[in-house]
Every structure is written in C-alpha cells, then in structure tokens.
C-alpha cells in the first residue's frame, strides 16, 4: 500500500510524518531549523533528517512514498530545496508545497472554510475558502508588519528598556532585557555625553545581532507579573493580533478560527485572553488552538493524493500522530 | 606658521579644511562617504582624499599641520581609522576626535552652552555645557529610536504604502514608494492568497536591502503637497524631533538651539515648521540652522590648540570657509 510523507518546516524545528492512505500515521521524525529563507544552510539538512527519521520510525524505505507535501515557512520558492532534501532521504516521488499558514489552519480544521491567526516570530491572519487561502492580513515581516508577534513584543521590550534607561517609566523589563543581552554595566554608571553606559551597551548588542533576533526579548514580557509596562505591551500585542484577524473575517465565510504559533499555543494566559476577545465578538465561531501544522500538512497530503478527508479521517491523523510524537 | 586641519566625516560626504591659528581657512576639500561604521571600506579613503584635497587647495604640505580634529559620525572607535587615513595624506601630527553632534552645535555657536537638534538619516538632541555634551536624547539608531529622522520618515512612507495596498487609507505615497523601489506590478493585479502582487513585490524589495536604506523613501513624503497621509507623517516627525529636544532642555542652561542634518538644513518648510514650534515655546532662545559640522570642527581644532575662539574668530572661520567652499 503506497504511503505519503508530510513535512512542517518552521523556523525553530522541522517535523515529518509518514502516513497511509487511511490517514493512519506510521512514522514520525523531528529535527532543527527548517526555514529556507532564515536559515538557508540548515533548512535542507533539517528537512532531510526529519524525513529520514520519519521513514526509519515507520520502518519504511523511501520508495514506499508516493507523494510528499511540504508546509514550509518562508518557502515562497522552496520547491527545489525541499525536493533535493527529500531525494537525500531516498524519496523520489512528486512533491507539493503548501503555505505553512494553510497547513496550520488544516491542523485544526477538517472543514475547508474558516480562519487562521498565527503568532510566532511573525504574525498573520488568513481567510480560507474551498480549501484555499483567499485573503491575508499582515504577515509582512518584522520591518513592515508582524504586529503583535514575538519580534514585535521583543522590540517593545527593548524600547521599554531604552526608555527606562533614558529617564522614562521604570519597568522590570529593563533588568531582564539587559540580562538577555548580557549587558553587565551598572545601571547608575554614566558614560560620555550624559548617557548611562548600560544604554550604550544595550544599543551595541542590539545592532550587533540580526534585527529579527529581538524576538529573544519577548519572554521577558511574559515572565513579569504586575509590571504595568509589560502588561501594556502584551495587551497591545493582543489587540494588534485581534485587529489583524478582523481584517480577514467576513460574514459569508463561516467555519472555525484556528490559533497557532508559539505565542498562541504555548503562552497559555496570552492565548486565553485572545480567545476571550474573540469569543466576546465573533459570536458563535468555534476557536481552536493547534501546536503546529503537521496534522494539516498530512491532511493536505491526503487531499493531494485524491483522498477526501472528513472529520473522522482528520481525527485518525490527529490521534495516530499524537501517539507517535508524544514523548 | 603652524596650521590645523579639521574634518567633518558624515554618511554622505566628508569635508576637510586647513586653517591657521587666527581662524582663517586656507584650503578646503570634499569627498564621499565618511562614516566608518556604515561604510568601513570607503571611510578611510574618503577621509584621506578630503584631507589631501584641503592641503592641495591651501598649497600646503602635510608637515604644515600641527594638529588635526576629526568630527566623525558613527565614530565611537574611529581614532585608528582617522589617524591612518591622515597619515596617508602625509599628516603626521596629533589627531583628536570630537562628536559629530558637538561639531554641528559648534558650527552654529561660538558659545559653549546651548543645544543641538540633528535630523538626517538618524536623529538626536544634545545639551552642551562648558563646551561638552552633558545630556543626549535619542540618537539610538533606526531599530531603537531616531524618531522623526529620515529613516523614520522613510519607514512611515513604506508602512503607508503597505496599508494602502492592504485596503487602508489611499495615499499618493504608494505610487512614489513603488517607483522608488522599482516595483512595476499593476496595482490591481491580485496574486496568491488574496494579496496584491505589488504588495508582495514591495516586501521583497524592502527585505532585500539594508533596513536603514528605507530612508530612500523619505523624499516621497516631502514631494507631495495636499496628501493627508504624507502631511500626517511629517507632522508626527516634527513633533517627535521637538519632543527629543525637550528631553535635554533645562532652565539653567541658556544658549542657542542649533538645528542641523539634511531634514533641518535642506527641507525648508519642514525646518521652518520645527523653528515655529520651538519659537512658540522656548521663549527667547536663539534658533540657528547650520549646513554641517565643519565650521564647528575647525573651531574645536582651534580650541584643542589652546586658542580661545570668541564670536569674532568664529565668524572669521565661518566667512573664510564659506568663501573657499562655495561653488
């Protein structure tokens, strides 16, 4: 019986699953950084390793795969990268690519209509109709958008620390940001030109790293309880994310709202507050949270192979994958 | 009679002047990019060329220089770069460095107390007391600050174009931004995922260039008359710059406010509006606009050589330099 391989390649980790045509997952593999735009050197290796591990775990040769489906972050032009990486794992079958956001939506929904809101390092919302993304809001990257994302929160943490060191509102974020950036200068030490040494050092550290790495500072905002500046940052992030979703919601497309990405799947109270905002306005819409896009990529693989995926099949994918991938 | 050399090395151009101890300027030279942080390969060449040109123009050998003073943008650690570059021009004399913002202040003021507000690609304000910078606001670079700067305005232009293409307020900035970024897609063309192709292309262009190059889009905001979005960007830029200056002004430091940098020296109506805001609040403070920091660097060179620079000497520097450097 021929099998399918599905991939979910993200900035932090890459996951792969081998499944049969009934939706039963047979093997699972996981590796590191898989975004071909952010980490062009590592992504092909990660994709090959995850696919090879999924085959090993399912005790199947590469020749058992009839079709692969890759959901790849930042992968507008990733066909070649993914194809070569899968060849490296011994898989010489047709390979299709899907948007990582569509895969994430499909992880949470057997339905082919609805919405997804993703907030990880970046942030975007989409409307899905007839199984395709028909409208997108934000997802414009750290310099032009991604409002409410991990980068956005991290940059706000940096700006709050800068303001504090420059005579603005005091916040516990300053200490956490300086620690995260390994700035050790004493907060009272004043350098040249009337400026705290810690502020000059913070600037030097920030400009020495790729800007998108400011997302490293986001955990500081989540770590503090009862800090007015941190609470305000998180509230503005939630409002921005809800506003991004609003820009794609329309009355005549029903279906669930699927939430995903680190901020919405791992930060429980943040995610709960977003759900609460949505519940109080998007009356009656079903809001679901997913960990990643792998169930969705597997579902899209089944559909690409001509198989109709109903709620029962979707549930088979979900439960058999959970059994394989749980620690 | 021994002479002095002064340098003003900025992101766009580098200027040098040779002067005698009376403040009379004898030779002037000009070259290209001189910021050792932004353009490490070009800056040493520019500095050497400007210095050599100033010597040639004054018909003096390098040995005629007893002391050099360099005002270098981004030059926290530029001693070595400037020293080597001047050696390359045949100048083997002690070399001192000054803040480019202090040089700019000193271009507009023989006084040793007062304020400077600079807005070029970046933006900062300082308070000067006893000839030294004693307080600084902003100047934190494009990622952490520079509110109201050329970068800031350029990024706002990009965000306004993105919002327009994404269903937000319509603005003439969109066409200008797409032209500046050489995006040729038709505005009505919709690509994958319900997004205008022009928006995707704009994103690709922006992320393919160094972020600070968004300052290229700033001229679009100045080019449009009667565009509500452009006017709003420029008004917020002016407010941000005035707010930055406010953070360093104190009652017990008098003296002039010196305005400089491209936005305040070349954009007449923008600069006039900033002066107007300042006049309506900083009662009685003298507001002056300067083109660059070269008169100031020359003044600082005289002071470093132990010469007292009064208003008359400052005026000698200014007028003899203007005679040499006017086209």
pLDDT (tens digit, 9 = 90+) per residue, B169-209?
999 999 999 999 999 988 888 887 788 999 999 999 999 99
Q: Can you give the pLDDT at residue A326?
A: 81
With a cut of 80, say whether residue B76 has pLDDT above it: no
Reference A23, options A211, A325, A327, A297; nearest CA is A297
- Beta carbons within 8 Å of B70's beta carbon, 6+ residues apart: B6, B7, B9, B47, B78, B82, B95, B96, B97, B98, B297
A207–chain B nearest CA distance, Å: 8
Answer yes or no: do B126 and A193 touch at CB < 8 A. Answer: yes
pLDDT at A74 over 80: no
Q: Per mean pLDDT, which range of A62-66, A280-284, B203-207, B287-291 is the poorest?
A: A280-284
Which residues in A have their CB inside 8 Å of a CB on B? Answer: 99, 126-127, 133-137, 140-141, 143-145, 155, 158-159, 162, 166-167, 192-195, 199, 203, 206-207, 211, 214, 247
Which whole number is the average pLDDT over B63-80? 85
Q: Please give the average per-residue pLDDT across A1-18, as a whole number.
A: 91
Percentage of chain B lying above the pLDDT 90 cut? 77
- Give the pLDDT score at B121: 84
- Tell me how far the alpha carbon of residue B241 is from its chain's centroid: 14
| Residue A199: closest C-alpha in chain B | B140
At a CB cut-off of 8 Å and minimum separation 6, what does B286 contact?
A: B256, B257
Residue contact A211–B207, C-beta within 8 A: no
pLDDT of residue A282: 58
Put simply, the answer to whether A203 touches B127 (Cβ < 8 Å) is no
pLDDT, averaged across chain A: 92
* Interchain proximity A144–B158, CB inside 8 Å: yes
pLDDT recorded at residue A34: 86
ipTM, two decimals, is 0.82
Confidence of residue B282 (pLDDT cuts 50, 70, 90): low
**pLDDT score of A197:** 92
Q: What is the pLDDT of residue A76?
A: 61
Q: Which of A143, A146, A158, A162 would you mutate first to test chain B, the one with the most B CBs within 10 A?
A: A143
Distance from CA of A123 to the nearest CA of B (A): 15
Residue in A203, A211, A247 closest to B211 by CB: A211
When scoring B135, B144, B217, B253 by the number of chain A Cβ atoms within 10 A, the one with the most, hence best to mutate, is B144
| Distance from C-alpha of B123 to C-alpha of B119, rounded to nearest angstrom | 4
Q: For A117-145, what is the mean pLDDT?
A: 93
pLDDT digits (tens, 9 = 90+) for A205-237: 999 998 988 999 999 999 998 999 999 999 999
C-beta atoms of A162 and B141 within 8 A: no
Angle between helices A173-180 and A150-165 (to 10 degrees): 110
Q: Which of A68-77, A113-122, A172-181, B54-63 bottoms out in mean pLDDT, i.e. has the lowest?
A: A68-77
Return the number of CB contacts < 8 Å for A and B: 69
Say yes or no to pLDDT of B42 above 80: yes
Contact A206 B155 (CB under 8 A): no
For B41, the token pair is 């390969």
Distance (Å, whole) CA A95 – CA A65: 10
pLDDT at residue A73 tops 80: no
Question: What does pTM read for this prediction?
Answer: 0.86
The whole-angstrom distance between A64's CA and the closest CA on chain B is 32
In the structure, what pLDDT confidence band is assigned to residue A11 with cuts at 50, 70 and 90? confident
**Which residues are bridge partners to A4 per DSSP?**
A19, A67
The pLDDT value given to residue A157: 97
- Whether the pLDDT of residue B75 is over 70: the answer is no
Percent of chain A with pLDDT over 90: 77
Which of A247-251, A265-269, B126-130, B282-286 is predicted least confidently?
B282-286
Decide if pLDDT at B77 tops 80. no
Query: What integer is the mean pLDDT of A248-266?
Result: 91
Q: For residues A152 and A108, what is the distance between their CA atoms, to the nearest angstrom?
A: 25
Out of B135, B143, B159, name the one closest to residue A207 (CB).
B143
Average pLDDT over residues A86-111: 94
Q: Do A135 and B193 touch (CB under 8 A)?
A: yes
Determine phi and psi for A251, rounding to 5 degrees.
-65, -35
Please report the pLDDT score of residue B36 as a whole number. 84
Query: B207, A136: Cβ pair inside 8 Å?
Result: no
More confident residue, A53 or A189: A53
Q: In the predicted model, what is the mean pLDDT of residues B212-231?
A: 94
Beta bridge partners of A119: A123
Distance, C-alpha A165 to centroid of its chain: 32
Best A140, A211, A248 residue to mutate vs chain B (most B CBs within 10 Å): A140
Residue A169, pLDDT > 80, answer yes
Contact call for B166 and A135, based on CB within 8 A = no
Res A63 pLDDT > 90: yes
Q: How far apart are CA A109 and CA A255, in angstroms?
A: 8
Among B76, B193, B246, the strongest candidate for a mutation testing the A interface, having the largest count of A CBs within 10 A, is: B193
Contact B194 A159 (CB under 8 A): no
- Judged by CB atoms closer than 8 Å, whether chains meet at A144 and B206 is answered as yes
């Amino acid at each position: 019986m021929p099998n399918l391989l599905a991939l979910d390649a993200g900035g932090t980790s890459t996951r792969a699953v081998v499944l049969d045509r009934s939706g039963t997952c047979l093997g699972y593999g996981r590796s590191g950084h898989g975004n071909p735009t952010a980490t062009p050197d590592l992504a092909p290796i990660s994709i090959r390793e995850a696919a090879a591990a999924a085959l090993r775990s399912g005790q199947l040769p590469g020749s058992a795969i009839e079709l692969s489906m890759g959901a790849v972050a930042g992968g507008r032009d990733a066909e070649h990268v993914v194809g070569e990486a899968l060849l490296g794992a011994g898989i010489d079958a047709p390979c299709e690519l899907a948007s990582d956001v569509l895969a994430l939506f499909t992880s949470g929904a057997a339905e082919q209509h609805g919405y997804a809101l993703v907030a990880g390092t970046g942030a975007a919302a989409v409307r899905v109709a007839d199984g395709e993304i028909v409208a997108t809001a934000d997802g414009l990257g750290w310099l032009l958008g991604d409002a409410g994302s991990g980068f956005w929160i991290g940059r706000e943490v940096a700006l709050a620390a800068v303001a504090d060191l420059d005579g603005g509102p005091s916040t516990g974020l300053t200490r956490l940001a300086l620690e995260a950036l390994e700035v050790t200068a004493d907060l009272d030490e004043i350098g040249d030109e009337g400026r705290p040494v810690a502020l000059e050092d913070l600037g030097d550290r920030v400009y020495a790293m790729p800007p998108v790495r400011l997302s490293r500072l986001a955990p500081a905002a989540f770590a503090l309880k009862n800090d007015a500046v941190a609470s305000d940052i998180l509230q503005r992030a939630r409002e921005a994310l809800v506003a991004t979703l609003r820009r794609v919601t329309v009355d005549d497309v029903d279906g669930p709202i699927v939430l995903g990405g680190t901020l919405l799947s791992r930060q429980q109270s943040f995610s709960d507050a977003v759900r609460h905002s949505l519940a109080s306005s998007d009356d009656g819409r079903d809001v679901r949270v997913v960990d990643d896009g792998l169930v969705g990529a597997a579902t899209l693989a089944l559909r690409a192979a001509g198989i109709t995926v109903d709620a029962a099949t979707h549930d088979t994918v979900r439960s058999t994958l959970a059994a394989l991938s749980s620690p």
